[in-house]
Copies of this chain bind each other. A is one copy, B any other.
Amino acid sequence: MADHAQPAIDVPALTALLDGKYAEIREMTRKNLSEYAEVLDEAIELPTAEFRERVLELVREMARSGATGLGFPTEYGGGGDIGASVAGFETMAFGDLSILVKVGVQFGLFGGAILQLGSKHHHDAYIADLVTGDLMGCFAMTETGHGSNVQALGTYATYDVEAQEFVITTPDDRSRKDYIGNAAAHARMAVVFAQLEIGGSSEGVHEFVVPIRDEDGNTLDGVRIEDDGAKIGLNGVDNGRLWFDGVRVPRVNMLNRYADVSEDGTYSSAIENVDRRFFTMLGTLIQGRVCVGGAGISASKVALAVAVKYANKRRQFGAPHSDEEVLLLDYGMHQRRLLPLLAKTYALHFSQEILVNELHNVLSTTEAPDRQRRALESRAAGTKALSTWHATRTIQECREACGGAGYLMANRLGALRADTDVFTTFEGDNHILLQLVAKGLLTDYSSSFGDLDQLGMVRFVANLAVETVVERTSAHKLLERIRDVLPGGTEDRWDQEAGLLDPEYQLAMFRWREQHILSGVARRLKRGMDQGLDAVAVFSNVQDHVIAAGRAHVERLVLEAFVEKTAMMADGDNKVALNQLCDLYALSTIEADRGWFMEHGRLSSTRSKAISREVSSLCRALRPIAEDLVDAFGIPREMLRAEMLDDPGTV
A interface vs B, CB < 8 Å?
Answer: 44-45, 47, 142, 144-149, 152, 172-174, 176, 178-179, 228-232, 316-320, 325-326, 330-333, 336, 392, 396, 399-400, 403-410, 414, 417-418, 421-422, 424-426, 429-431, 452-455, 534-536, 539-544, 547, 591, 594-595, 598-601, 605, 608-609, 616, 647-651
Bound-state Cα–Cα, A426 to B176, Å? 43
A647 & B543 in contact (Cβ 8 Å cutoff): no
Looking across the interface, which residue of chain B has its beta carbon closest to that of A406? B425
Q: Top 3 A-B pairs ranked by shortest CB distance?
A: A144-B649, A173-B649, A595-B595
B424 & A400 in contact (Cβ 8 Å cutoff): yes
B650 & A409 in contact (Cβ 8 Å cutoff): no
CB distance from A233 to the nearest CB of B (A): 8
Bound-state Cα–Cα, A148 to B649, Å? 15
Which residue, A145, A148, A600, has most C-beta atoms of chain B within 10 A? A145
Q: With A232-B409, A601-B605 given, is the CB distance from A453 to B318 under 8 Å?
A: yes
Bound-state Cα–Cα, A176 to B648, Å? 11
A404 & B320 in contact (Cβ 8 Å cutoff): no
Bound-state Cα–Cα, A152 to B649, Å? 14
Cross-interface CB contact of A316 among B148, B536, B598, cutoff 8 Å: B148
A425 & B408 in contact (Cβ 8 Å cutoff): no
Which of chain B's residues have a CB closer than 8 A to the CB of A152?
A: 317-318, 325
Q: 12 pairs across A/B with beta carbons < 8 Å?
A: A47-B47, A145-B649, A152-B318, A178-B404, A232-B399, A232-B414, A320-B536, A332-B543, A333-B544, A336-B544, A404-B425, A594-B595
A407 & B608 in contact (Cβ 8 Å cutoff): no
Which of chain B's residues have a CB closer than 8 A to the CB of A600?
A: 605
Cross-interface CB contact of A422 among B404, B431, B540, B542, cutoff 8 Å: B404
A647 & B407 in contact (Cβ 8 Å cutoff): no
Cross-interface CB contact of A407 among B44, B231, B405, B609, cutoff 8 Å: B231
Which of chain B's residues have a CB closer than 8 A to the CB of A429?
A: 403
CB distance from A420 to the nearest CB of B (A): 11
Q: With A404-B147, A649-B173, A650-B144 given, is the CB distance from A231 to B332 under 8 Å?
A: no
A331 & B173 in contact (Cβ 8 Å cutoff): no
Q: With A232-B409, A399-B421 given, is the CB distance from A540 to B649 under 8 Å?
A: no
CB distance from A396 to the nearest CB of B (A): 7
CB distance from A394 to the nearest CB of B (A): 13
Bound-state Cα–Cα, A133 to B608, Å? 57
Cross-interface CB contact of A331 among B178, B410, B540, cutoff 8 Å: B540
Excluding A173-B648, A178-B404, 16 further A-B contacts by CB distance (< 8 Å) are A45-B230, A142-B404, A144-B405, A145-B650, A145-B651, A148-B403, A230-B409, A231-B407, A231-B409, A319-B534, A332-B539, A400-B424, A407-B421, A544-B616, A594-B598, A600-B605
Which of chain B's residues have a CB closer than 8 A to the CB of A406?
A: 425
A649 & B232 in contact (Cβ 8 Å cutoff): no
Which of chain B's residues have a CB closer than 8 A to the CB of A605?
A: 598-601
B616 & A404 in contact (Cβ 8 Å cutoff): no
B231 & A414 in contact (Cβ 8 Å cutoff): yes
Looking across the interface, which residue of chain B has its beta carbon closest to that of A650? B144
Bound-state Cα–Cα, A98 to B536, Å? 44
Looking across the interface, which residue of chain B has its beta carbon closest to that of A597? B595
Which of chain B's residues have a CB closer than 8 A to the CB of A609?
A: 599
Bound-state Cα–Cα, A594 to B594, Å? 9
Q: With A336-B544, A536-B326 given, is the CB distance from A417 to B232 under 8 Å?
A: yes
Bound-state Cα–Cα, A172 to B650, Å? 11
Bound-state Cα–Cα, A595 to B611, Å? 12
B404 & A331 in contact (Cβ 8 Å cutoff): no
B422 & A407 in contact (Cβ 8 Å cutoff): yes
CB distance from A460 to the nearest CB of B (A): 13
